[in-house]
Structure 1
Amino acid sequence: MGMKDQMQQKAHQAKEKAQQAGRQGQQAGRQGQQAGRQGQQAQPGRKQRDEQAERMHRDEQDRFNQDYDA
């Protein structure tokens, strides 16, 4: 096998390896998106709970401020 053939073979192998890595990356990206969607569906009331907790915290802070401002 000549030098030219070896170089072509190595280039071909590198190209195949890069394509395979690209496919694996795309597949992992799709799996991540699916997991994200499932997480959002599993916690539909989370935003409402966060807003309620924030509102309670503000109310508590307001009461504290009123107690010490007077």
Structure 2
Amino acid sequence: MLKSYEAIYENGEMKWLLDRPSLVHSARVVVTVLEETLLPTTKRRTFPTELAGTVQILGDIVSPIVAEEDWECLK
């Protein structure tokens, strides 16, 4: 099975953008070089450092803090 990974090649080094190949010791690769105008110009967003230690998670991240019966939704 073939998998695709995005990386930027700068100064002889690969910088992986999202996920990187895992458990691969040796592989044959195909490299496509994009023109600089096609490269993304925005950097990845990061969490603001000035908010570190001030954010509080209320409830479970996966399930809502409010009971489903209390939702005001149209059915």
TM-score above 0.5: no
Instruction: Tell me the TM-score range normalised by the shorter chain.
Output: under 0.3
More strand per residue: 1 or 2?
Answer: 2
Q: TM-score normalised to the size of structure 1?
A: 0.23
What is the TM-score with the length of structure 2 in the denominator? 0.22
Which structure would you say has the larger Rg? 1
Q: Select the structure that is richer in helix.
A: 1
